[in-house]
Amino acid sequence: MKLIHCADLHLDSDMTSNLTKEKAKERRTELLVTFQRMITYAKENDVHHILISGDLYDKKNISSTARNVFLTAVTDNKDIIFYYLKGNHDAESLFIGMNKIPDNLKLFGTEWTEYKITSEKDNNNIVISGIELTADNSDIIYNSLILDNNCFNIVMLHGQETLTKNRNEYQSISIRLLKNKGIDYLALGHVHSYKKEKLDARGIYCYPGCLEGRGFDECGEHGFVVIEVNNNTLTSHEMIQAASRCLYEIDVDISECLNSSEIINNIQHALDMKHYSSSSMIKVVLTGNINVNCEKNIEYITMMFCDKYYYFKLYDHSGIKIDYDNFLYENSVKGELVRLVKADDALDDDTKAAIIAIGIKALTGEEYI
């Protein structure tokens, strides 16, 4: 038997970070399309159970489109059972106006709720248990979780894993307190990157990550997890890459560069080594210390890559290296500037370098960014 485990879909996210209004709207639509891509995968691969471990939506008030996309997916696929555990972002308005919750949509509350799946074909007795964490119940969920060791036990929770329970943070989940409880698969949500770890001698825990990266704190491949259970045993676990496009961050050392053209060459070489597709969103961070006389035009460099990717952003974190001996006896305004700043004991080395760099750029008529 196959099951999909997903979380942190964040449908209806604003997607405004870094993007224009038009591209933000396009990314919101792509997120809905990726959700539909997951449903299509389920239909084409004999998956009849989808676990949603929190944050289906990004905010409390959602658009009618985002609401209808999910509910239509549920009502149009009656042979797929959706297990929806709300997270800290989820919408309260999802079921407003509905006369009846669809039979194939299973919900959880603030007490442990369980759903049983029996399959003679696969010789499975699966129990899916879940609880929505609150400030009132987060300390008692561990002792109140009672599982049948003869079943394959899936537990759904939404929160941040910790080694010990943090009493001041109800959304923290103590991995230690969930050990040796009879859990076979701990289906977590809240962390936006994929992670699979051993829970104890019996089970594992997993964060599937988010469906789509929304910012450069969510780089890399994203999608959902497919697990297969046979004879009450986890027989396979696979991360399925489903995102419409990926975000990547890369550092490029420009220490030896003397001008913008050489910096462009360094960036291009670094990107060529990665083989990122043109649909990607790229953040390049310039690092290293460059010569104070290096010509570096960030706007020009950025423009050279903007048309190659869906989105390209350049961050300049490079520093300045100054050979003071070169200016020590130079009979010019530039030399006098360097000597005056170098002699100021009230300034640290980084501040001196920054002042000198700005001054030299100004004296040579270049814009300092």
Note the pLDDT of residue 331.
Answer: 84
Q: Retrieve residue 3's tokens.
A: 């099951």
Q: Which of 219, 241, 263 is the last residue of a domain?
A: 241
Q: Are residues 212 and 67 in the same domain?
A: yes
Is residue 167, in this structure, part of any structural domain at all?
yes
Using alpha carbons only, how large is the chain's radius of gyration in Å? Answer: 27
Note the pLDDT of residue 366.
Answer: 58
Residue 367 has pLDDT above 60, yes or no: no
Is residue 369, in this structure, part of any structural domain at all?
no
Place of tokens 């999909």: 4
Per-residue pLDDT band for 168 (boundaries 50, 70, 90) equals low
Average pLDDT estimate for 181-186: 98
Note the pLDDT of residue 96.
Answer: 73
Is residue 368, in this structure, part of any structural domain at all?
no
Is residue 125, in this structure, part of any structural domain at all?
yes
Place of tokens 């770890």: 197
Per-residue pLDDT band for 93 (boundaries 50, 70, 90) equals low
Single-letter amino acid code for the residue at 100 = K
Q: Are residues 9 and 152 in the same domain?
A: yes
Average pLDDT estimate for 294-315: 96
**CA nearest to 1, candidates 242, 191, 184:** 184
Is residue 285, in this structure, part of any structural domain at all?
yes
Q: Which of 189, 211, 241 is the last residue of a domain?
A: 241
The more confidently predicted of residues 58 and 301 is 301
Q: Are residues 214 and 158 in the same domain?
A: yes
The more confidently predicted of residues 226 and 324 is 226
Q: Are residues 214 and 98 in the same domain?
A: yes
Residue 171 has pLDDT above 90, yes or no: no
User: Do 158 and 88 form a contact (C-beta atoms < 8 A)?
Assistant: yes
Least confidently predicted of 3-12, 98-107, 347-356: 347-356
**CA nearest to 225, candidates 187, 182, 178:** 187
Residue 107 has pLDDT above 70, yes or no: yes
Residue 356 has pLDDT above 70, yes or no: yes
Q: Are residues 233 and 355 in the same domain?
A: no
Q: Are residues 359 and 306 in the same domain?
A: yes
User: Do 187 and 154 form a contact (C-beta atoms < 8 A)?
Assistant: yes
Place of tokens 């007490």: 111
**Domain count across the chain:** 2
Per-residue pLDDT band for 61 (boundaries 50, 70, 90) equals confident
Note the pLDDT of residue 227.
Answer: 98
Structural domain span for residue 263 = 247-363
Q: Are residues 191 and 274 in the same domain?
A: no
Q: Which of 202, 219, 241 is the last residue of a domain?
A: 241
DSSP for 166-187 reads -TT-TTEEEHHHHTTS--SEEE
Q: Are residues 233 and 256 in the same domain?
A: no
d(CA 161, CA 206): 10
CATH classification of the domain holding 236 = 3.60.21.10
Burial 271-300 (b: 16+ CB within 10 A, else e): beeeebeeebbbbbebebebbbbbbbbeee
Q: Are residues 55 and 160 in the same domain?
A: yes
Q: Are residues 49 and 194 in the same domain?
A: yes
Q: Are residues 131 and 71 in the same domain?
A: yes
Residue 253 has pLDDT above 60, yes or no: yes
Residue 33 has pLDDT above 70, yes or no: yes
Q: Retrieve residue 184's tokens.
A: 């076979």
Q: Are residues 43 and 76 in the same domain?
A: yes
Note the pLDDT of residue 357.
Answer: 77
Residue 318 has pLDDT above 60, yes or no: yes
Is residue 37, in this structure, part of any structural domain at all?
yes
d(CA 114, CA 108): 8
**Packing angle of the helix pair 349-363, 333-343 (nearest 10 deg):** 170
User: Do 231 and 264 form a contact (C-beta atoms < 8 A)?
Assistant: no
